[in-house]
Amino acid sequence: MPPLSGKTALVTGASRGIGRAIALKLAAMGAQVAVNYAQSREEAEAVARECNGFAVQADLGDLTAIEAMFNRVRREFEKLDILVNNAGVGYARPIAETPLEDFERVFAVNTRGAFFCLQEAAKCLPDGGRIVNVSTGATVSSPHNFGIYCGSKAALEQFTRILARELAHRHITVNTVSPGFTETDMYHALPSLAELAPKLTPLGRAGKPEEIAESVAWLCTPEANWITGQNLQVSGGLNMV
């Protein structure tokens, strides 16, 4: 029997990139998956068709939309076993030049939105549930120009550790997966990353979304039940911590 047979999952930001690969991997392992998106409806519906689930629109910057998304997931699946908090927005600009509205936009999605998805999951996941937060290896390497982005993700890593303690008595594990350079739209939006990735990554290239999805999905299996509160660097050797 597939390892996640009978399980239900919500993957945020699953219309494209890493989230899409995670949704497809969880489905290949037997889970039914709700595919969250903000704008890319057609792409999300195509992923959902392969996931025995449905697409659910919610801009994670909008707390009312988050609540409505969880209500719909609970209604359609009747329970939720796995949350993958993957949606995120990239941002690169020196701290000295960063306007308030950009700070608020990035934190609204990467930090506040992710936090309230965690809160909803904490309230509804059954004993033995799984939560995986997608951060970034950049919180370790701290590259210049990534102040807001790394700050927003560092908070998410802290939420992981604290929620792991708070939910441990219910055998719900909470972990972070931190990708290194990964070939997605976000990566291609900054041409300098394609130049840096092979130079900075010990294994000599950028990763593929499917290579991140393997680790996220494994953390959702029963075999990973003894791992909680951790930050797994999935990055071809970038950031050996």
CB closer to ligand NAP out of 173 and 182: 182
Name the residue type at position 3.
Answer: P
CB closer to ligand NAP out of 40 and 231: 40
| Least distance to ligand NAP, CB of residue 34, Å | 13
**How far is the C-alpha of 125 from the C-alpha of 70, rounded, in Å?**
11
Strand order in the sheet with 82-85: 54-57, 32-37, 8-11, 82-85, 130-134, 173-179, 231-234
| Least distance to ligand NAP, CB of residue 230, Å | 16
**How far is the C-alpha of 142 from the C-alpha of 121, rounded, in Å?**
30
| Least distance to ligand NAP, CB of residue 199, Å | 15
| Least distance to ligand NAP, CB of residue 107, Å | 12
| Least distance to ligand NAP, CB of residue 87, Å | 4
187 an active-site residue?
Answer: no
The DSSP string of 78-97 is SS--EEEE---------GGG
CB closer to ligand NAP out of 3 and 105: 105
CB closer to ligand NAP out of 70 and 181: 181
Which residues contribute to the site for ligand NAP (CB under 6 A)?
12-19, 36-40, 59-61, 86-89, 109, 134, 136, 179, 181-182, 184-187
* Ramachandran region, residue 78 (left: φ > 0; alpha: ψ -120 to 50; beta: rest): left
Specify whether the CB–CB gap between 33 and 27 falls below 8 A: yes
Helices (H) and strands (E) in the chain, counts: 10, 7
CB closer to ligand NAP out of 19 and 236: 19
Specify whether the CB–CB gap between 22 and 208 falls below 8 A: no
**How far is the C-alpha of 131 from the C-alpha of 123, rounded, in Å?**
12
**What residues are labeled active site?**
149
